[in-house]
Amino acid sequence: MATPTRTFTDAEAAPLRDRITANPRPAVVWLTVAAALFALEAGAVAQFATSVLADGVAALPGVAVPAGVVALERAVEGVPTLLSRETVPNRGYWNGSRYVGTFLGLSPDVAWLLRAALVYAYSFAALGWLWVGYERYRTHYRIADWTPRDDVIDRFRGHGWGLFGVAVVVMFFVMVLFAPALSPTTTAANLQNPYQHEVTYWADGGTDTVTVGQANLGSQSQGTPQENVGPMQYDDYGRIHPFGTLPSGKDLFTFIAHGSRISLIIGLVSVGLSVSIAVLLALLTAYYRGKVDLGAVLVSDAVMGMPQLLLLIMLSVILSGTWIGQIYSGAFVLALIFAATGWPAMWRSFRGPALQVSNREWIDAARSFGQTPGMIMRKHMLPYITGYVLVYGSMTLGGAIIAIAGLSFLGLGVNPPTPEWGRAVNAGQEYVTTASWHISLIPGVLITLVVTGFNALGDGIRDAIDPESDAEHQGGASGRGGGA
C-alpha cells in the first residue's frame, strides 16, 4: 500500500521558526509550563551539576578545588528548590506529645515518604510534559503528516516490556539527579564527617544531643535482633532509615542514592567512549573496506581474545596507586578500562548495518556528486546505524553497572569511602541469613532491577525499530524479554 502524499503550502515549507511565529500559541503555552516546571527544581539540577564538577576537580591528584568552584557551590545552594529536605523536612524528634522539626508535625517516616512521592510525581509529570511538547510539535509545526519515526514510536508505545524498561530507567535517573532530596540525611553527616554533625533526640523525658558518629555506633546492623535497624525502622535516636543501616550504622538509603551517581557516571563515560570508537570504526571500515577493515578485525579479535574480567582486575590493581587511578576515586580509570575492552563487541554490532548502507545507490550517487568521504559517512551512513547505537548502548550501560558493582564487591574499582552499590553488597554478605539481611539484599535487588530495566529498554527500542526481529515473533513480553 502506497504511503499517501501531500502537497505543502509555502507557509508549511517555511523554517520552523517562521511556522512558530505564524502560530505561536501552542509553543508559548508549552514553553511557559516547561519553564515553570524547571524553575521548581532548578536548584536541584544546578546542585547536581556543580557537585559533579567539584567532585571531579577534587579527585584530581595534587589539585585543590578552585575558589571559584567553591563560591559557585555556595551560590547554587541558595537557589530555591521546591522539593528538598529543607522544604519537606523529615528530621525531627518526639517531645513527648508531638513531633518537632518535621514537615507539618508528621512522623519522620511519613514526612520522608511524602517527599519521595512528590519528587517522583514531579519527575514523571515533567517527563509527561516533554511528550506533550512532541505531540504539539507533530500536530502544529511539523511539515509532514507522517514520518517513519511515527511508526517506531507507536510500536514502542505498545511494547510492554520496553515501557517497563523506561519506567525503571527513569526512576534510576531520578534517584541520581535528586539523591540529596530523596535521602533522609546528607552525605556530609552520614558518610563524610559524621563526628562534625549533631542529632537531637528525645530521651528520658527531655532532649539530648549527640554527634552523628556516636549515633551511628549505636545504630549498627550486625546480624542480631539487638544490633539491627531494618527497613523503615527508627534507631534509638529517632532517625528513620528507609532501607535500614549498614554494619557501621550509616544510613543505607543515603549510601545507595549517592552511589547511583558513581555507577551512572562510570557507565555513561565508558559506554560513550565505546560507542564513539565503534561508530567511527564501523563507518571507516564500511566505507574503505579492504585493509582498513582487515586491520580493524585483527585488532578487535586481539582485544576480545583477552579475558576481560582478569584484565579489569589486573589494571585496576596496577593503576590504583597512580595519579590516573585517583581521578574521581578511581571511577575514571574504570571507565577507560571498560571502554578499551568494550568497543570490539559494539563495532561488530555496527559493522553489518554500516556495510549494508555502504552498498546503497545513494552512496554511489553522493560520490558521483563529489561529496567527501567524511560528509558521506556523516550525512548518509551515520543516520542509518543510529538505532543500533541506541539499542546496544542501552544494553551495554546495564552491563557496565553490574560490572562496576562486581568489582566494588571484590574491593576493587571505586575507592572507599566513595559509596558504590557493590560495596554495600559486600558489607552485608556475612549477614544474609541473619536479622540484617537487608544490607546485601536491597542493593542486590536494585542492581538486578536497573540492569534488567536497561536491557528491557534496549529490547523495546530494537523491536520498535525492526518489527521483523526474532523477539517480536516469540510471543508476548516473555519472548521480548530474552535479552534481560
Greater model confidence, 101 or 483: 101
Q: Is the pLDDT of residue 78 over 90?
A: no
Give me the pLDDT at residue 367, please.
85
> Nearest to residue 103, comparing CAs of 89, 91, 86?
89
Confidence bin at 478 (pLDDT 50/70/90): very low
Q: Provide the 8-state DSSP code for 481.
A: G
Q: Is the pLDDT of residue 471 over 50?
A: no
251 phi and psi, to 5 degrees? -70, 125
pLDDT tens across 101-130, in order? 899 999 999 999 999 999 999 999 999 999
pLDDT tens across 341-381, in order? 889 989 998 988 899 888 888 888 888 888 888 888 888 88
Q: Which helix (H) or strand (E) holds 241?
A: strand 240-241
C-alpha cell at 221: 546492623
C-alpha cell at 283: 563507518
- The pLDDT of 247-263, averaged and rounded, is 92
Greater model confidence, 78 or 190: 190
Residues 6 or more apart from 166 whose CB is under 8 A from it?
457, 460
Mean pLDDT of the chain: 85
Taking the C-alpha atoms of residue 58 and residue 192, their distance in angstroms, rounded to an integer, is: 14
- The pLDDT of 154-171, averaged and rounded, is 93
Give me the pLDDT at residue 60, please.
62
Taking the C-alpha atoms of residue 400 and residue 447, their distance in angstroms, rounded to an integer, is: 11
Residue-range domain boundaries for the chain: 41-81, 187-250, 260-436
Predicted TM-score of the model (pTM)? 0.85
Residues 6 or more apart from 249 whose CB is under 8 A from it?
215, 216, 217, 218, 219, 220, 221, 229, 235
Q: Is the pLDDT of residue 437 over 90?
A: yes
Taking the C-alpha atoms of residue 27 and residue 119, their distance in angstroms, rounded to an integer, is: 26
Q: Find the length of the chain.
A: 484
- The pLDDT of 200-211, averaged and rounded, is 86
Range 260-436 classified under CATH 1.10.3720.10: yes
C-alpha cell at 427: 558489607
Give me the pLDDT at residue 116, please.
95
201 phi and psi, to 5 degrees? -145, 165
- The pLDDT of 287-299, averaged and rounded, is 89
- The pLDDT of 51-68, averaged and rounded, is 68
Q: Distance from CA of residue 140 to its chain's centroid?
A: 33
Greater model confidence, 204 or 352: 352
- The pLDDT of 20-41, averaged and rounded, is 92
The percent of residues in the chain predicted with pLDDT above 70, rounded, is 90
Give me the pLDDT at residue 361, please.
86
Confidence bin at 472 (pLDDT 50/70/90): very low
User: Residue 81 half-sphere exposure, CB side, CA atoms within 13 Å?
Assistant: 25
- The pLDDT of 441-445, averaged and rounded, is 94
Greater model confidence, 319 or 10: 319
Q: Is the pLDDT of residue 249 over 90?
A: yes
Q: Is the pLDDT of residue 421 over 70?
A: yes
> Nearest to residue 272, comparing CAs of 152, 127, 184, 394?
394
203 phi and psi, to 5 degrees? -150, 135
Give me the pLDDT at residue 469, please.
58
Confidence bin at 97 (pLDDT 50/70/90): confident
Confidence bin at 65 (pLDDT 50/70/90): low
State the maximum Cα–Cα separation within the chain, in Å, rounded to a whole number.
Answer: 89
Confidence bin at 484 (pLDDT 50/70/90): very low
- The pLDDT of 165-182, averaged and rounded, is 92
Residue 233 contacts residue 243 (beta carbons within 8 Å):
no
Give me the pLDDT at residue 74, please.
75
Strand partners, 94: 99
Q: Distance from CA of residue 43 to its chain's centroid?
A: 19
Give me the pLDDT at residue 7, please.
42
Confidence bin at 55 (pLDDT 50/70/90): low
- Give the 3-state secondary structure of residue 469: coil
Residues 6 or more apart from 205 whose CB is under 8 A from it?
96
Taking the C-alpha atoms of residue 277 and residue 262, their distance in angstroms, rounded to an integer, is: 23
C-alpha cell at 202: 528525645
Give 428-463 as a DSSP string: TGGGTTSTTTHHHHHHHHHHHHHHHHHHHHHHHHHH
- The pLDDT of 411-419, averaged and rounded, is 78
